[in-house]
Chains A and B, each alone.
Chain A
């Protein structure tokens, strides 16, 4: 049974939507594809999709690294990841006969941030930053830190690609479950406008110029702003913030450059965005938003993956017919096998109705986004626990 044929089972004669089929194998087999970004709202199977795609690409000969953000423990175990140590680990037990390889890693945002600080500031200064209470809060609970660090890590993985320790030629990224859909795209810009803003100059000015004298360049408004901030935040916190911003000042420039670089990388042809959704109204509404946003940003969109399409196995009876027959069996008061047969028919009717509703939702997406390739992936009974499970999903993703 294949996913495509499932699409028309149970509802003979139904005209399927005109969405082109997303050819995942063509995408991962194309050596020009160097980055695949899986994005979508929370709970739609993004991480699983990323892992399954990475495994399939590796087993067809690509050298792959999968960057996951917050994988479920069992999924992580299925990839052989037992600890969150921020380093790509080789995944053994894959079929490497086609010459491919697979690495996988989990993002540790605090450690990534620490590494950036250590790599880009002088030793004394690095210690000062790492010990600053403001830095400690920023690096572990900063609104958006995960997005910045995912971008940073992606940049690092790309920069090291092709070296003996980093043999990969394809990076598959799972994106953070952001509160607003595509925060990771905004991360470099947000950082940029922050660094270029007057506010950071205001924060850094007093210390740089050795006291309040430095503020004169901004005029009288500044006095009011700083005194207001001192009033609201208290002097100690403002001092901590200033120390932090000053300490980061030297490395922030490089940080922004790399974030800009990563953003450029994402908009290039070698990148493919896959929007992942579940066949539910809210998830598909979010997917529409993602698709519009990616197009507005000129990002290379490969298509939509709709996960967890309900499975229908039986053919030859419509839901209405099944329900009518179930009713007559129940009314007949026959043997146990009659009530069992009625139950089977009701179950079948419910499955077909669910699948129809899901397909209608997916079709509605395709009607409002004509031309976007789509692949539908059937639901598995259980969550993925091992490489076989990931292979099965990869198989379905490829529509084979």
Chain B
């Protein structure tokens, strides 16, 4: 498996609702951390999906270590809150003491974080921008190594991702001069550079695949870099291709199936045999549909990783299993980059 995002530091993870975006973002963070590396895993919608996935207390506005790997890597979690991000931003750049509190009192903070166009999204991305630039000596420039080797963002769903990531260019249009404008354009530069890749999580179903294809086009149009397509919750076929063909066309031999069932000690009533054949036909149609959808995804030319369905549901152990499956793709880039360097 190869990819062309060797220089990526910021991994944005999107997908249609219900595709398991948070689980996949968590698994990517673990895969990157296994390098070993220090990885920041962030969410921006206040859903506390990360804390639920790793079974740790709800994340606050402080960066909190959630996983430490035996090889020395670690994953730090952060739930970005726009209000806290704005106040922190104002404090950092403007040293607003009393004025900050006054802005809050006058409703300006509420206005900015809930009502003003795009400001909320700018603040959320702004916080990531800040974390990406932060050095181990606490400064945001200089030669000290960065605090984080990689950042994974559990981003808004495919329906909103294009707008979310291009909101800074919209704001730059509104605020043509001034500090907001220059901040917005440096964030846009980061997002459009090869340091940022956007991975799309999907299921092998029509609507999620359709949305995936549309969002890949949209990302490309907006000068952003799609990374991998991650197909989640994949189930292996339980019949071979010949049997699937027969099942689809109703040609599975009923009498011999009945004989085999009886031989295995199962009472082969007509209800059972007919039901099993109907289930087999459904299964064959489902596999056909999945193969069609996979072909559509392959046509994008992006690397595709398939992750299995977790029958027992998601927990911190099963996320590690998924992470192992992501390591080849996500760490091959690192190896390539080191060879180049």
Contacts and interface: CB of A to CB of B under 8 A. Distances in A.
Interface in B1-57: 16-19, 45-46, 49
A312 B279 contact: yes
Given A143-B118, A313-B276, A340-B243, 10 more contacts: A143-B120, A199-B106, A199-B107, A236-B178, A281-B314, A314-B273, A325-B266, A328-B265, A329-B264, A347-B279
B337 interface: no
Interface in A325-348: 325-326, 328-329, 332, 334-335, 337-348
A234 B179 contact: yes
Q: What 3 A-B pairs come out closest when comparing CB atoms?
A: A42-B17, A314-B275, A234-B178
B210 interface: yes
Contact of A341 (B210, B261, B314): B261
A294 interface: no
Contacts of B163: 141
Contacts of B272: 314-317
Interface residues of B, number: 86
Interface stretch (B92-100, B130-138, B323-331): B92-100
B116 to A, nearest CB: 8
A221 B107 CA distance: 13
A26 to B, nearest CB: 29
Interface in A362-400: 381-383
Given A43-B19, A383-B207, A224 B175 contact: no
Contacts of A73: 210
Contact of B111 (A70, A194, A357): A194
Contacts of B285: 381-382
B60 interface: no
B280 interface: yes
B194 to A, nearest CB: 26
Given A337-B253, A351-B279, A194 B18 contact: no
A240 B178 CA distance: 14
B94 A228 contact: yes
B266 to A, nearest CB: 5
Given A43-B18, A179-B45, A233-B180, A381 B238 contact: no
A270 B266 CA distance: 54
Contact of A180 (B46, B105, B283): B46
A177 B256 contact: no
B115 A340 contact: no
A44 B160 CA distance: 17
Interface string A16-52: 0000000000000000000000000111100000000
Contacts of B314: 281
A180 B175 CA distance: 28
A335 B173 CA distance: 71
Contact of A329 (B156, B252, B260, B283): B260
A60 to B, nearest CB: 28
A200 B115 CA distance: 11
B90 interface: yes
Contacts of B175: 233-234, 236-237
A165 to B, nearest CB: 31
B103 interface: yes
B115 A42 contact: no
A198 B105 CA distance: 9
A296 interface: no
Nearest to A350: B238
Contacts of B176: 234, 236-237
Interface string B256-288: 110111011111010111111111101101100
A240 B116 CA distance: 12
Interface stretch (A77-85, A121-129, A131-139, A206-214): A131-139
Interface in A41-89: 41-44, 70, 72-74
B233 to A, nearest CB: 10
Question: Which of B96, B120, B256 has the most A CB atoms < 10 Å from its CB?
Answer: B256
A44 B46 CA distance: 20
Interface in A219-242: 221-222, 224-225, 228-229, 231-237, 240-241
26 contacts: A43-B208, A70-B159, A133-B174, A137-B118, A142-B117, A197-B107, A199-B108, A200-B107, A200-B111, A228-B102, A234-B179, A234-B180, A234-B181, A236-B175, A241-B116, A311-B282, A312-B275, A313-B274, A314-B278, A338-B260, A340-B257, A344-B280, A348-B275, A350-B235, A381-B285, A382-B206
B286 A381 contact: yes
A283 interface: yes
Contacts of B120: 143
Nearest to B253: A337
Nearest to A74: B206
B125 to A, nearest CB: 13
B142 interface: no
B313 interface: yes
A316 B267 CA distance: 8
A381 B289 contact: yes
A144 interface: yes
B221 to A, nearest CB: 16
Given A225-B102, A317-B272, A328-B264, A344 B279 contact: yes
B18 A44 contact: yes
Contacts of A339: 240, 243
Interface in A127-161: 133-134, 137-138, 141-144
Given A316-B271, A321-B266, A190 B279 contact: no
Contacts of B311: 353, 357
Contact of A314 (B157, B271, B289): B271
A197 B105 CA distance: 10
Nearest to A351: B279
B42 to A, nearest CB: 15
Nearest to A70: B159
Contact of B238 (A221, A343, A382): A343
B174 A237 contact: yes
Contacts of B187: none
